């Protein structure tokens, strides 16, 4: 490991000696943004890998969720929404559901909120099914 660091240091010194003073360049290399600066004899190389977040699966999940929510009866939706409001910020949830694209943080947040809302929905639907079965059995 120390040999590798020595080799990197040697390479960095060689680069520093051939890079002209006042250099300030940015370029793309293998999907990474590289910034090369030499000021006052100090050479700096900065490499930033631009990892784009693919939100396509999140968009599908959100759209599927929204389609399913439309199928819930209004009175049941109101009950579910009231309970969900105790566990998640409904206004923020609605805002996230109306986004067309998501960064990583908002994707995690909306998926978590969908999970909470879905669990509450399943619970309410289970109670409704039991109520209807009891009603059915009376006839």
Separation of alpha carbons 65 and 122, rounded Å: 13
Which three-class secondary structure state does DSSP give residue 29? strand
For 32-60, write each residue's pLDDT tens digit: 788 888 888 888 888 877 677 889 999 99
Which three-class secondary structure state does DSSP give residue 35? strand
Separation of alpha carbons 72 and 105, rounded Å: 28
Q: Whole-prediction pTM value?
A: 0.63
Which three-class secondary structure state does DSSP give residue 25? strand
Given its phi and psi angles, is residue 22 left (phi above 0), alpha (psi -120 to 50 degrees) or beta? left
């Amino acid at each position: 490991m120390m040999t590798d660091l020595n080799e990197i240091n040697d390479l960095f010194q060689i680069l520093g000696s051939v890079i002209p003073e006042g250099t300030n360049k940015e370029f793309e290399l293998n999907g990474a943004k590289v910034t090369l600066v030499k000021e006052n004899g100090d050479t700096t190389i900065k490499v930033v890998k631009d990892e784009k977040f693919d939100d396509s699966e999140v968009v599908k999940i959100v759209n599927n969720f929204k389609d399913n929510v439309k199928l819930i009866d209004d009175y049941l939706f109101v009950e579910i929404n009231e309970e969900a409001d105790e566990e998640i910020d409904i206004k923020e949830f609605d805002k996230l559901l109306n986004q067309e694209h998501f960064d990583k943080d908002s994707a995690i947040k909306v998926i978590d909120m969908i999970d909470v809302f879905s669990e509450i929905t399943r619970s309410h639907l289970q109670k409704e099914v039991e109520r209807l079965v009891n009603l059915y059995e009376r006839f």
